Structure 1
Amino acid sequence: MSTTAETTPAGGAPGTGTGVWLHGVVADADPAVLAGITGMDGRPVRAVRAVGLVAVVSAAPLTEYGEEALRRNLEDLAWLERAARTHHAVVDALSRAGAVVPARLATVYRDDDRVARVLTERRDELAGTLAGLTGREEWGVKGYVVPGAVPRSAEPAGEGGTGAAYLRRRRAQLTAREEGQRIAAEAAATVHTALAGYAVAARRHAPQDRRLSGAATAMVLNGAYLIDRAALDGFSELVGALADRHPELRLELTGPWPPYSFVTEPSAEPAPAVRERA
């Protein structure tokens, strides 16, 4: 999906008129569900239908969401956070009702005809993505360093022996912080591999900065996993078992989330992050 506003509608002066903000694409949309979802303009979202697909959209006054206005507003962090939260709230509500292909933040078109054209041109791709997401949810697993924790596999069985001597030498070579970071990073890779093997699909994102995560220690795992709803209990149990197996990590399971991690276009610029729910 486009990440920038299109040009002004025909017949309108630059920066005037109303565009169409795309939130996401679904296979079908219950009018009663849409009536309870607030869009960018503060009114209920609406549906644009074409070729058996539904685009869920909001009115987007071009004085605020036009190309020039967006370029300016995207530099305003307060405005950006409000827009991101509103957009995410719509996508989240749609995902709870069924499969959705989320649009990138600030995907604005001239009019409904342009939106319908996108559905027509990308019908096979969008329908295929929706089929792959049906009955599935995105869940996140974050892993944080636990200072001073020793992995179970490294715990010495006794005071003597070559194994214990080796561990003492290694601890002497590294500072406690360096060793903790190394151990946690290795554990994070092991945990992600195990979770990815259970999931339908998996992505490992860059760890969040502490200012964004709000955690007291460094994040070393920021994984996203597409899970069949019927398999969620098993996935949750696996996260718990991995947490017990790796005390050097504090694992946190979050979700469900809209499937942002599994519909990203390689050529698109990343959308600004939305702070997760507590």
Structure 2
Amino acid sequence: MDSTLPATPATGERAARAPWQAFMPLWLMSAPALILFATLVLVPLAMTFALTFYRFDPASGPIAALDFHNYAEVLGSSYFHTIFLRTFGIAFLTTVLCVAIGTPEAYVLSRMRDPWRALFLLVILAPLLVSVVVRAFGWSMLLNTNGLVNQAFALFGLGPYKLEYTTFAIVIALVHVMVPFMVIPVWTALQRLDPQTENAALSLMASPATTLRRIVLPQLVPGILSGSLMVFGLSASAFAIPGLLGGRRLKVAATAVYDQFLSSMNWPLGATIAMLLLVANLVVMLTYYRVLERRYARSMG
């Protein structure tokens, strides 16, 4: 009797594996990516966090110390309270408008056929192809006192209105930039939706509105959730648009950090504002995610 047994799939797979793979742990194989992530993200973040405990001397600059004065100044000042409330108010309003605009856009886009779908997708993604500074200057030209918007109002005997350097200008420009970040996740969620489900609901005498509300919308919640998280996070940390369309008077957290680093040269205070913005942003986004995830789980049974 031949004692040689045929190789099983497991032994064949083990033999086909390179010898160095059998001795190298998985964490060691991922070490280059981990080192790159730590170098580009974790190390600068840790250095910024350490800088928040420095003291600032106008004559000599930052002085190494374990001082909580910067946190007390930011958390106890009504000036910084106003800045953070304005920052998150703008981010919240931008997110709501992007959900209201981007979700129907994605639904209409999913119902289109080529080549119209590709054409309108290019139109939706067009803001991402232009520099954010160019977009901000474009909105500045539209919204200033002699801009096209006030000229259109003048045709009806209205205006001129002060639109530039207002919260309205910042929100409008941010919505223009952030809508693609809402459309793409919702459109991706729609691609996984089986059209036969809608047809089945319509064949059972459900109205189109009921089908949209009971069948389509619940399955769009993951896309709306991920898109709104991206829009809120990017809007809360936006710098170029609030800086150019908000002016020196209408400050948000990102422009306050810029002023402390490059105008006042108070790096510890600027680092403190940046770290508090990061923490507040994470708290808001994680709370929002948990609340909507639980509601979605209950609605889907």
Comparing both structures, which one devotes a greater share of its residues to strand?
1
Sort the TM-score into its range (normalised by shorter chain): under 0.3
Comparing both structures, which one devotes a greater share of its residues to helix?
2
> Taking structure 2 as the reference length, what is the TM-score of the superposition?
0.22
> Taking structure 1 as the reference length, what is the TM-score of the superposition?
0.23
